[in-house]
């Protein structure tokens, strides 16, 4: 069989599509050209040029006055070959001879023009004289254009506005307002994978299972199991919830709809519910697919909280529609919903039940091992020194989230660049941590010697009490250089606990009161410098008594509401109970304050020497405290783990060196 010859378009015409409205445009341009084509060939001139160069030299064949406005001049054919008439001798189109009119000019009035023409030809013989001819022409097409063009213009504007309102790009159109604002993310546009997510091993494992559901659902459904409808990512800000969702988009290789909870909220009634319906409709069409709703608490708050005002009707309608779409009569096979929030306590119970969000994945702040892995990810693109110890960096950043660690690495790079260094060293990272925690150093701040001395004793009080208490956080660094809003600061390495005992909380309160106790003991007066300490211990003491049930007098009672249904106007206890709580909190704080003063009295000389060293150096470290107080009696479990990690690292380095030597 002979192969049929296929006609192919040239490269420039590939993807060429004919549009019907192009014909209308061509016709319009054609008629517009006809209107002006005749006048285009006649060149403009004036009376002086006409009289001197054409009339007086007797080169004019005739003059035609049209509509008593314009005089059109026809040049004799035998003169058209001259240089000055060469531009008008031929027509613009076709290169054919132009027999006129060749020139034109505006006339004031017919009588004046006739008199001027007559006077200009006084010396001429009767055969040489030219009399003007008069014509009246009706420019029907021009008149039509006069009112058709504005009409067409307004029609085109109207069509453009209506198209913008009913469709097109963006979501601000009036008739497109009920459409979903979700962005369909292609796998080519997402470069984040699970390799870029560190320190979230358990969360990553659960998310990986969901991705596997979409890739091979038959493996699970053949045993009678159902694919989960959704997964809720819950955790503090900056822990990597959105990053995890991006990694899912990069790994799943399925359509991924990403949008925020606030995208459903609009001033018009019914818009949110309409957008939810449209979102799930699109997701079903492209199934298997993933929908990711970031900050779902914008629409998922518990219903009925403000029923009296009626202000939440629209948000509740949106939530109702979401609940229906996720677990209604309709089947959403192959559509999995991921959501992220850091306010899980305010979510509606119907939203987080099994069948809607089957899984709640907790994304907590990273522990020591997690921080180490996160640092390794963020250190890859940086030009760092060879002596950078990742264990040390992880040790210096307790309580930091993934976003905080990324900020530490970036800030260290900026500090090194400002100092014109070629690599980022250990000190740059320390300066970065100090700046993020305490703020920028205010070296120019004027502080009187008396105030500076009081600040030194305040910080020395904190350092001494925390060093001498078993459960207080061990000290890393003390400074009296003003940073941010604080005049001095102390850095601690808090132990990462899963449970906290009464003794541990009391030691922490006592340590926080060490600064004020030092002021009272050594100066006989107290200052406002302990504001942040007092705020912290007050909240801690009230939590001990009214939430954790750690008070013997109040007993095993907790007034904490995990559901978030309790409002702030009424208290779940009587006035008598409130007085008991206040009395118990005051007793706890005063007892620990007395304990802090006793510790400072016991080590009075060492506190003084520490304060003097602070005044001299302005910044002291853990090693300086060891010189004054000796080694700390207690070693936390975390410190034991860190020492073990350091030993293991040294062993691996030695083994690598020995293997290289043997080679």
Question: C-alpha distances in angstroms, 31 versus 43, 139, 141, 145, 579?
Answer: 21, 13, 8, 10, 94
Which residues on adjacent β-strands are paired with residue 233? Answer: 340, 361
Which residues on adjacent β-strands are paired with residue 289? Answer: 335
Q: In the structure encoding, which two tokens stand for residue 375, read together?
A: 């640092």
User: Strand locations in 452-553, DSSP E?
Assistant: 475-479, 489-492
Question: C-alpha distances in angstroms, 263 versus 244, 293, 302, 304, 539?
Answer: 21, 9, 19, 22, 36
CB atoms within 10 A of CB 292: 25
Q: List the one residue out of 614, 613, 594 whose CA is nearest residue 602.
A: 594
Inter-residue contact 293 to 260 (CB < 8 Å): yes
Handedness of CA 634, 638, 644, 647 (dihedral sign): negative
Q: In the structure encoding, which two tokens stand for residue 635, read together?
A: 């070693």
Q: What does residue 15 show for φ and ψ, rounded to 5 degrees? A: 80, 10
Q: Which of 295, 316, 325, 459 is catalytic?
A: 459
459 annotated active-site: yes
Question: C-alpha distances in angstroms, 142 versus 137, 152, 155?
Answer: 11, 15, 20
CA 505 to the chain's CA centroid: 39
Distance CA 195, CA 283 (A): 27
3-state secondary structure of 257: strand
Q: In the structure encoding, which two tokens stand for residue 222, read together?
A: 């053949």
3-state secondary structure 564-604: CCCCCCCCCCCHHHHHHHHHHHHHHHHHHHHHHHHHHHHCH
Q: Residues with catalytic annotation? A: 459
């Amino acid at each position: 069989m002979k192969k049929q010859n296929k006609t192919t378009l040239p490269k420039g015409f590939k993807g060429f599509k004919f549009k019907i409205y192009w014909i209308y445009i061509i016709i319009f341009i054609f008629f517009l050209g006809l209107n002006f084509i005749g006048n285009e060939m006649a060149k403009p001139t004036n009376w002086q040029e006409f009289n001197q160069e054409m009339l007086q030299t007797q080169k004019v064949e005739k003059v035609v006055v049209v509509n008593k406005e314009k005089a059109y001049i026809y040049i004799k054919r035998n003169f058209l070959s001259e240089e000055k008439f060469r531009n008008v001798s031929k027509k613009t189109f076709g290169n054919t001879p132009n027999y006129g009119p060749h020139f034109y000019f505006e006339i004031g009035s017919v009588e004046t023009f006739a008199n001027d023409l007559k006077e200009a030809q006084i010396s001429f013989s009767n055969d040489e004289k030219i009399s003007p001819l008069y014509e009246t022409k009706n420019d029907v097409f021009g008149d039509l254009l006069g009112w058709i063009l504005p009409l067409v213009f307004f029609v085109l504007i109207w069509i453009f506005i209506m198209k913008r309102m009913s469709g097109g790009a963006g979501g601000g159109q009036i008739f497109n307002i009920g459409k979903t604002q979700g962005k369909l993310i292609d796998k080519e546009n997402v470069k984040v994978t699970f390799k870029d997510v560190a320190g979230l091993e358990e969360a990553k494992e659960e998310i990986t299972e969901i991705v596997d559901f979409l890739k091979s659902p038959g493996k699970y459904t053949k045993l009678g199991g159902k694919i989960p409808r959704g997964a809720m990512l819950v955790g503090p800000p900056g822990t990597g919830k959105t990053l995890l969702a991006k990694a899912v988009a990069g790994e799943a290789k399925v359509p991924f709809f990403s949008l925020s909870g606030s995208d459903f909220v609009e001033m018009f009634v019914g818009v949110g519910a309409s957008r939810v319906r449209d979102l799930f409709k699109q997701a079903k069409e492209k199934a298997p697919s993933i929908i990711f709703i970031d900050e779902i608490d914008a629409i998922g708050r518990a219903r009925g909280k403000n029923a009296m005002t009626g202000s939440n009707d629209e948000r509740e309608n949106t939530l109702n529609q979401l609940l229906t779409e996720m677990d209604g009569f309709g089947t959403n096979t192959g559509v999995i919903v991921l959501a992220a929030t850091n306010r899980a306590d305010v979510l509606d119970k119907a939203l987080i039940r099994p069948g809607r969000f089957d899984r709640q994945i907790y994304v907590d702040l990273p522990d020591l091992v997690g921080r180490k892995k996160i640092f390794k990810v963020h250190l890859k693109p940086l030009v760092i020194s060879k002596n950078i110890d990742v264990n040390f960096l992880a040790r210096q950043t307790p309580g930091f989230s993934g976003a905080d660690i990324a900020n530490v690495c970036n800030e260290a790079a900026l500090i090194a660049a400002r100092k014109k260094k070629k690599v980022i060293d250990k000190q740059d990272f320390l300066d970065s941590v100090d700046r993020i925690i305490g703020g920028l150093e205010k070296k120019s701040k004027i502080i009187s010697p008396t105030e500076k001395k009081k600040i030194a004793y305040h910080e020395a009080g904190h350092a001494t009490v925390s060093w001498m208490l078993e459960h207080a956080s061990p000290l890393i660094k003390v400074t009296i250089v003003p940073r941010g809003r604080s005049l001095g600061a102390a850095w601690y390495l808090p132990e990462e606990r899963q449970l906290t005992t009464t003794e541990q909380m009391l030691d922490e309160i006592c340590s926080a009161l060490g600064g004020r106790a030092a002021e009272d003991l050594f100066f006989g007066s107290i200052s406002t410098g302990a504001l942040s300490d007092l705020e912290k211990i007050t909240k801690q003491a009230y939590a001990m008594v009214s939430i954790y049930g750690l008070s013997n007098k109040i007993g095993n009672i907790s007034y904490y509401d995990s559901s978030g249904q309790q409002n702030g106007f009424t208290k779940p206890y009587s006035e008598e109970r409130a007085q008991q709580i206040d009395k118990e909190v005051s007793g706890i704080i005063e007892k620990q304050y007395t304990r802090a003063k006793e510790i400072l009295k016991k080590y009075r000389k060492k506190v003084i020497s520490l304060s003097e060293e602070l005044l001299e150096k302005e910044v002291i470290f853990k090693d300086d405290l060891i010189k004054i107080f000796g080694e700390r009696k207690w070693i936390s479990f975390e410190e034991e783990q860190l020492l073990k990690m350091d030993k293991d690292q040294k062993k691996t380095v030695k083994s690598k060196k020995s293997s290289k030597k043997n080679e």
